[in-house]
Amino acid sequence: MQTPARPIPASAPPPVPPDAGPRGGLWRLEADRAVAVDPDYDSSATVLVPTEQVLLSVVSLPLPNRTKRLAALPFALEEQIAEPIDAVHIALGDAAGDGRWLAAVVRHTVMRDWLARAAAAGLGNAAFVPDALTLPVPDDGRWTVAAADGRVLVRTHDGGGFALAEAAFDAAWQAAGQPGIDRAAAGGGVTAPALDLRQGAYAAARTGLPGWARRLAIIVGVGAAAHLLIAGADLIALKRTAAAARAETAALIQGRAPGAAPTDDLIAQASALLPAGGNTAPGRALPLFARLGQALAPVKNAATIETVVLDEAAGTVTLGVAAGDPAKLAAVSAALADAGLKAAPGGVTQEGGRMLATVTLSAEGAGGGR
């Protein structure tokens, strides 16, 4: 007896705002132009590309670091690729749990075409995200499905996904064992996409941080400052601030890297998740602020950072440092220099048995460390 086909759940596409010009936001590429999906998208400029032209797969890569996972990725995918490996671009995405990772394969010719069209629209640095990855990940044994314009997007419970013509959906659904269906709208954005195709030779030149990374950087900076500011009468309040920052940082780490166990040094762990930048710059001082925790860790017992002033307009972070003697103040300057942060010393005063100094870090002077 033939099993009746399950109807595709109808879901209307979200309204498309008027073309506002390529100034960040969420976009999709059409024949000869970029169409705005959400100009106010709270992240770096992102272009949704058709998942029909991308193979999304979840592969086993139980390796200790990204470099080794990238090296092993072509071998993990070779049985799924029906053409020469040098004809395709392979990208690595987020962890899917149990040593498995999301990966994507797309032809070089397709990537080059997308890049040319995005550049012509002023989106040369935009992230490329397969549109099926905008759907939420469903529970085990279910699919998240969005149907619009004669095509269907599907997100699977392992974090992968695919797209196909509406006419082919019922056959695919039955072949997969008729999983439960959760309906969703097509074309929505995500603040932290599980995979960006702009990697390797196609990596974009980024100048800022996406929205989720700006939030994480701020929390990392606040957490670092709270730990460094614990002193005197403010001890209890600052410990509570540090504990709250730690809890929120741990939650964000879990959101970006599911299954990652929080380490003792959450600041370093969170900083490692921050991307090199994004399409829309958040300001010049914020990256300096995010690096303070690691930079000052070696001298945490030598001095107390009593104030931290972030000036995005000037691109500076100004520290008020207190220490028992000039040698300890010098140790703070040396630690900043070792971290690649150029510090301009300000005035030094003495109050009781303490030396008080002002140190200003400049975005223009920030380097990559020694």
**Which residue's entry shows tokens 């945490």?**
300
Of 128, 151, 147, which is closest to residue 49 (Cα–Cα)? 128
The answer, as to whether pTM is greater than 0.85, is no
pLDDT of residue 10: 41
Beta strands in the chain (DSSP E): 26-30, 33-38, 46-49, 55-60, 88-97, 100-107, 127-130, 142-148, 151-156, 161-165, 180-183, 303-311, 316-323, 343-351, 354-362
> Rounded CA gap, 328 and 318, in Å?
18
pLDDT of residue 264: 58
Written as tens digits, the pLDDT of the chain (370 aa) is 333 344 444 433 333 333 434 457 888 877 667 888 876 776 678 899 999 999 999 999 988 888 899 989 998 898 888 888 889 999 999 998 889 999 999 999 999 999 999 988 888 889 999 999 999 999 999 999 999 889 999 999 999 999 999 999 999 999 999 999 999 876 565 657 899 999 988 987 655 555 555 555 555 555 555 555 444 444 455 455 556 666 666 666 555 555 555 565 555 555 555 554 444 444 555 566 666 666 777 777 778 877 777 665 666 778 788 888 778 878 887 887 777 777 776 677 777 777 787 877 775 555 544 4
> Rounded CA gap, 259 and 8, in Å?
33
Q: Extract the tokens encoding 142.
A: 């279910």
